[in-house]
Amino acid sequence: MSDPTTTASAQIEHDQASEQPLYISPTLKNLDAKHRPEPSPACETCPASVWFSTDEVLKCFCGRMHLIVWDGNEPPILKCDGRELAILALMEAQNA
């Protein structure tokens, strides 16, 4: 019998390797590419992220860590366990 965590982790890795991520921030999706963070942070495809922008500022609040995790002044988070947990929760909700 396979371990559900291992199976879900394999699915996440497969989704990350495919062209279309399971989730992408609607706020970032609607921005011109030149206004998006570069390199792309893990938060871009994290269901727990809350992105918001003004004409001058783009920021990301993490619903898992409860703080601003991206504002353009620090290097972006490229890998995050919180993102993986949020994707697992999204997958479970979709399969329920």
pLDDT digit string, tens, across residues 12-46:
555 555 568 899 999 999 999 988 999 999 999 99
Residue 3 has pLDDT above 90, yes or no: no
The pLDDT of residue 8: 57
**pTM above threshold 0.85:** no
Give 43-84 pLDDT, tens digit per residue: 999 999 999 999 889 999 999 999 999 999 989 999 999 999
CA distance 96 to 44: 25
Report residue 4's pLDDT band, with 50, 70 and 90 as the boundaries.
Answer: low
- Which region, left, alpha or beta, applies to residue 66 given φ > 0 means left and ψ of -120 to 50 means alpha? left
CA distance 25 to 94: 17
Report residue 5's pLDDT band, with 50, 70 and 90 as the boundaries.
Answer: low
